[in-house]
Amino acid sequence: MTAQTDTPGTVTAVYKVSGMSCGHCEGSVSAEISQLPGVTSVTAVAAAGDVTVVSAGPLDEEALRAAVDEAGFELVGRA
């Protein structure tokens, strides 16, 4: 999926994350990604392995990968 602009100044992107299996997993991933500069919203869905991120601009994928890794999971890529 290509990043799409929802409102002026925001970008929404969906990523695949492997290893999430429960609400605690969703919370861990969301908490780490939320700390990245510019992130305004994170929604993780363990059942689908999806994480939707709304940010002020495009995110650095390596920073995103590091945040997901810190939570104990693996960023697979864009959904």
Q: Enter the pTM of the model.
A: 0.88
Correct CATH for 11-78 of 3.30.70.100, 3.40.1280.10, 1.10.3660.10, 3.40.50.300: 3.30.70.100
- pLDDT band, very low/low/confident/very high, at 31 (cuts 50, 70, 90): very high
Domain boundaries, the chain: 11-78
pLDDT tens for 36-48 read: 999 999 999 999 9
Strand segments, DSSP code E, in 1-79 are 11-18, 39-45, 50-55, 74-78
Q: What is the pLDDT of residue 32?
A: 98
Q: What is the pLDDT of residue 2?
A: 41
Q: What is the pLDDT of residue 9?
A: 78
Q: What percent of the chain has pLDDT over 70?
A: 90
Compute how many other C-beta atoms are within 10 angstroms of the C-beta atom of residue 57: 12
